[in-house]
Structure 1
Amino acid sequence: MNNILVTGSNGQLGSELRVLAQKYPAYNFHFTDYKALDITNHSAVKAFVKEAHISVIINCAAYTAVDKAETDIEMSTKLNHLAVENFGKIAKESNIQLIHISTDYVFDGTNHIPYTENDKTNPQSVYGSTKLAGEKALQQINPANSIIIRTSWVYSSFGNNFVKTMLRLANERTELGVILDQIGTPTYARDLAKVLLEIIPKLNTKTLEVYHFSNKGVCSWYDFAKAIFDLKEIDIQVNAIETSQYPTAAKRPFYSVLNKNKIEDTFQIEIAHWRDSLKECLQKL
């Protein structure tokens, strides 16, 4: 039986893995968060891995408060960089599989075609920089049977995200301004969670590999918001605004569409269109 350690288990992706866990009787899950297990503590994590006979680590833990990270550099570094380095060392020492979740924010957003795994990284924020530092630490350690999966615009029926924010604001206002000039692809956390559990038996790499995953299709945040309200049949005025009209502490990529060909071809998976997955999520809300 595969004993799987899921870190960051109270977040969107971790929560979706909890829901799916019951459908995978061949897997024995250990769900933890930063309060229960200090993922930056090498000896603590290694002892947990040994005692629970962990064979796979799925690292969903991250400092994801993008704007807050601009000033909370220490904690962002701990969770996005040092913890990842720790997992890489343990995966190599213990000869176990590791799946680490990263982000589109490692890119600068200046592309005009979907980013491949080999495209140059150039983060524009503390969040992106610390996530990239985690990736580089893993690549240097280079544990076998381990992968990095970059994703984008994650949402779920759990936690805080764009979909739930739009629904909340629709109850409070009659008119909203949503950014039109940032382009990407929403990712339903449940779709990503399913992929993670499906590919575990197929992980067989001599070196660390990087993959991209999001749902299919492309949209702006404005398009995303319009789809949410259309599918929920909510009557609200949505105005398209530019990034310059909505300043934030952290700079967002203007274009962060990810090319998914590698993960599709390697693991023979089918990826749903973002609008179809959004409809499924909204039914749960």
Structure 2
Amino acid sequence: MTRWLITGAGGQLATHAFEQLTDAGDNVVALDEHQFDITDADIVTATLAEHRPDVLLNAAAYTAVDAAEEHEDVASRVNELGPRLLAQALSSQGGRLLHVSTDYVFAGDATAPYEIDDPVDPQNAYGRTKLAGERAVRAALPDRSHVVRTAWVYGGPSANFVDTMLRLEQERDTVNVVTDEVGCPTYVADLATGLIALGRAGVPAGTLHFVNSGQASRFDFAREIFRLAGADPERVRPTDSSSFVTAAKRPAWSVLSSAAWVAAGLAKPRRWQDALADKLSRP
């Protein structure tokens, strides 16, 4: 039986991956930041020696994008140092690493979906630290690691765009949402399923993208959320990103291609609209 260890317990991805693996009868342990400080080399070595995972899913990350602009050193410890220590420990102890990364490693100025080998050029501190983490993982564990980039993940239990829109639908008559940010809404349960399949498959090490198929602006995404929730989508009003001043620059184009994922023999991700309908049909 495959032994799994998941970091970042309590977050969206770790929660869904743990539930799916448990339901499947796998041997799985999920640890949060208080139980497993991935930025401490001694703790990393001891924890991996205790659990001896066949597959380690690193779902831990510093994701406060705006705060990272002021605290890049803190973000770097979690997003670069932590993954590096995990990969280094696995290199000597054995086991595979699935490391989750982000669309923010790209500049966001493309017009076609980003492929896995397209040039990277992060535009904010969060993206820089995540790219550093990718490189650290691949350098320390080149033959037994996968970096999986994803984007626009929703589904909870932590804060996410879908839950925010559902809350605002109850609180406001209209909601202004930007039309000039385009990406791939990705249901976290689908991402968890995909990562588990990757962990079980004999896919050569490297970098892959996993997002639900298709693309949408934030505005399109919000209107579909309203429609599926039984609310009038016309209550979602178009605006642009100049209306929302943030510390960190967000990529205008966050569309990732899953072509390499499919070429590796893994299941093609379903349409983002179908995944969203599935999510919103659940209690």
* TM-score, normalization by structure 1: 0.95
Distance between the aligned counterparts of 1:269 and 1:172, measured in 2?
A: 39
Determine what percentage of the aligned residue pairs are the same residue: 37
Measured at CA, do residues 129 and 215 of structure 1 come closer, stay the same or move farther in structure 2, by a change above 3 Å? Answer: same
Among 231, 241, 245, the residue aligned to 1:234: 231
2:7 paired residue number:
7
Per the alignment, residue 22 of structure 2 pairs with 22
What amino acid is the match of 1:10? G
Q: Is the 8 A contact 2:13 2:188 kept in 1?
A: yes
**Match in the other structure for 1:36:** 35
Give the letter aligned to residue 240 of structure 2.
Answer: E
For residues 150-194 of structure 1, what are the alpha-carbon distances to aligned partners after superposition, in whole Å with 9 as ceiling and x for unaligned? 000000142110000001111111011000011111010100100
Deviation track 1:213-240 (CA, whole Å, cap 9, x = no partner) reads: 1000110000000000001111361111
Q: Which residue is equivalent to 2:95? A: 96
- Residue 240 of structure 1: SS of its match in structure 2? strand
Match of 2:282 in 1: 284
Show the counterpart of 1:271. Answer: 269
Q: 2 CA distance for matches of 1:284 and 1:8?
A: 24
Aligned: 1:224 with 2:202: no
Determine if contact 1:192/1:213 at 8 Å carries over to the other structure. Answer: yes
Corresponding residue for residue 177 of structure 2: 178
Give 1:268 deviation, angstroms: 2.9
2:202 aligned with 1:199, yes or no?
no
Q: What is the CA–CA distance in structure 2 between the aligned matches of 1:136 and 1:54, rounded to whole Å?
A: 22
- Per the TM alignment, residue 90 of structure 1 is displaced from its structure 2 partner at its CA by 1.3
Q: Secondary structure at the match of 1:127?
A: helix
**How far 1:2 sits from its partner (Å)?**
1.4
d(CA) in 1 for partners of 2:213, 2:162: 17
SS in 2 for 1:267: coil
**Counterpart of 1:13 in 2: which secondary structure?**
helix
Contact kept in structure 2, 1:92 and 1:143, CA below 8 Å = no
Q: Deviations over 1:54-104 (max 9, x none)?
A: 211100000111111111222211111100111110121112100000000
Residues paired across the two proteins, number: 282
How much is the aligned-residue C-alpha RMSD, in angstroms?
Answer: 1.3
Give the SS at the match of 1:167.
helix
For 1:132 and 1:268, locate their aligned partners in 2 and report how far apart those are by CA, in whole Å: 24
Change (3 A) 1:139 1:268: closer
Residue range with higher mean Cα deviation, 156-165 or 141-150: 141-150
Cα separation, 2, equivalents of 1:41 and 1:28: 25
Task: Name the aligned partner's letter for residue 280 of structure 1.
Answer: D
Quick check: 2:41–2:85 contact (8 Å CA) kept in 1?
yes
* Contact residue 6 and residue 18 of structure 2 kept, 8 A: no
Are the equivalent residues in 2 in contact too, given 1:145–1:203 (CA < 8 A)? no
Aligned counterparts of 1:41 and 1:83: Cα–Cα separation in 2: 8
Query: Following TM superposition, by how much is the alpha carbon of 1:204 offset from its aligned partner in structure 2, in angstroms?
Result: 4.8
- Residue 268 (structure 2) pairs with residue 244 (structure 1): no
Q: Is the 8 A contact 2:176 2:238 kept in 1?
A: yes
Structure 2 portions without partners, runs of 5+: none
Is residue 61 from structure 1 mapped to residue 27 from structure 2 by the alignment?
A: no
Q: Which residue of 2 aligns with 1:48?
A: 47
